[in-house]
Amino acid sequence: MMSNRVGLPKLFKYFFGLSVLATLCIAEVSAPALRSFEGVEPHMGTLVRIQLYAGDAGSAESAFRAAFDRISQLDGALSDYKPDSELNRLSQSAVNRPVKVSEDLFHVLETAQSVAVRTDGAFDVTLGPLTHLWREARKQGHVPEARALRQAASHCGYRKLHLDRANRTVLLDEAAMQLDLGGIAKGYAADEALAVLKKTGYRSALVAASGDLAFSDPPPGRRGWGIGIDSLDAAGQPFTSTLTIANAAVSTSGDSEQHLDYRDKRYSHIIDPRTGMGLTNGLTVTVVAPTGIESDANSTAASVLGCKLGLAFIENQPRLAALFVERTIGRSHLLESTRFHKIGDMN
Ligand code: AMP
Ligand code: MG
């Protein structure tokens, strides 16, 4: 019996931020032939970590290579930071004419639009003009001008993005539209990295891309992957709640990583499409779903909806569970959806 314990404290500090910290551990690996290996590479503007079980370092290395190559390929298609990405070329070329896109890009846009419809536009990948304005504002250290916000908002709106599944084409209603998949692409990339690993025989793995984690089968001899979510209770005391999951994904959205502090307010990098403003609700939302693309998009969406509407939305979606942590000075208020602690193997 080999004992193996792997901690990813930096990662969790990274994605759960101030009020929610988590650690991941695996203990007592029972299959002696398999060892846990971890690979880390920078992709999609963050460090992506992959953990898997393999017989030796050489085979783990080639598995990491294949998985990271797939993530890199997806970044090339879905990034709005890379000027020549498929996404950015689409934003330029699809104005008033249908443009054929890759299956990856179509699938992500299709999923995004379905979350947009179900959340009445709280999730909206056409917010590029606003998210770019806020990116600049974070660099400059002040909130964008009202006129610039109005102007950017006038080029946004998920109803201006049209998809044709039969021809796999995309059409945009206006020039100056800009698509931004920052709220959904990492989750999809995590799913696809797991799929590559599965195809080459690595069925027990985890992929962590910033706040988006996807898990396949449990580690050998285990019931699932343990995730500890450290938080503060109503009295401001630390406590840990744990989940054991497999074949599922967990995403956390909030303002801990990217934000602008301006005149006593913290503006998140997540934009409320109704106002064009960065969220100031101090929420951190963790969503569990069968796939990363779903957990990623829906954690961003639930952050915009806020505690009350967000929780009602999650309860209505049988594939989703969520934990909402609302931060106020010195303490946190926690709300869990009814399925949050009943989650196990979701596929
Ligand atoms: P996440 O960290 O997954 O919650 O995604 C946040 C990122 O999604 C932001 O940095 C933007 O790129 C993008 N984004 C911001 N607001 C929204 C929104 N309301 N709907 C969809 N994507 C958004
Ligand atoms: Mg997201």
Q: How far, rounded to the nearest angstrom, does the alpha carbon of residue 334 sit from its chain's CA centroid? A: 20
Residue 45 or 6, more confident: 45
The CB of 271 under 6 Å from ligand 1? The reply is yes
- 271 CA to centre of ligand 1 in angstroms: 7
- pLDDT(347) > 70: no
Q: Residue with the nearest Cα to atom 22 of ligand 1?
A: 183
- pLDDT(337) > 80: yes
Give, for ligand 1, the residue of 134, 181, 300, 313 to mutate: max count of ligand atoms closer than 8 Å to Cβ: 300
Residue 271's pLDDT band (cuts 50, 70, 90): very high
pLDDT tens, 169-180? 999 999 999 999
Range 290-294 average pLDDT: 98
Which of 192, 233, 191 minimizes the C-alpha distance to 331? 233
Residue 241 or 258, more confident: 258
- pLDDT(228) > 70: yes
Q: What's the rounded Cα separation, in Å, for the pair 159 and 200? A: 40
Q: How far, rounded to the nearest angstrom, does the alpha carbon of residue 104 sit from its chain's CA centroid? A: 16
- pLDDT(17) > 70: no
Our CA angle for 331, 209, 299, nearest 5°, is 50
- Are 307 and 326 in contact by the 8 Å Cβ rule? The answer is yes
Q: Residue with the nearest Cα to atom 3 of ligand 1?
A: 183
- 183 CA to centre of ligand 1 in angstroms: 4
- pLDDT(35) > 80: yes
Q: What's the rounded Cα separation, in Å, for the pair 6 and 16? A: 18
What are φ and ψ of residue 223, in 5° steps? -80, -25
Ranking 60-74, 122-136, 170-184, 326-340 by mean pLDDT, the lowest is 326-340
- 300 CA to centre of ligand 2 in angstroms: 4
Q: Could you tell me the two tokens for 245?
A: 């999951």
Q: What's the rounded Cα separation, in Å, for the pair 157 and 180? A: 12
DSSP state of 85: S
- Are 307 and 324 in contact by the 8 Å Cβ rule? The answer is yes
- Are 283 and 307 in contact by the 8 Å Cβ rule? The answer is yes
Residue 14 or 68, more confident: 68
The CB of 209 under 6 Å from ligand 1? The reply is no
Q: Could you tell me the two tokens for 54?
A: 């393999």
Q: Quick one: which ligand is closest to 211's CA?
A: 1
Our CA angle for 112, 196, 167, nearest 5°, is 40
Q: Could you tell me the two tokens for 244?
A: 């054991």
3-state secondary structure labels for all residues of 256-315 = CCCEEEECCEEEECCEECCCCEECCCCEEEEEEECCHHHHHHHHHHHHHHHHHHHHHHHH
pLDDT at 334: 87
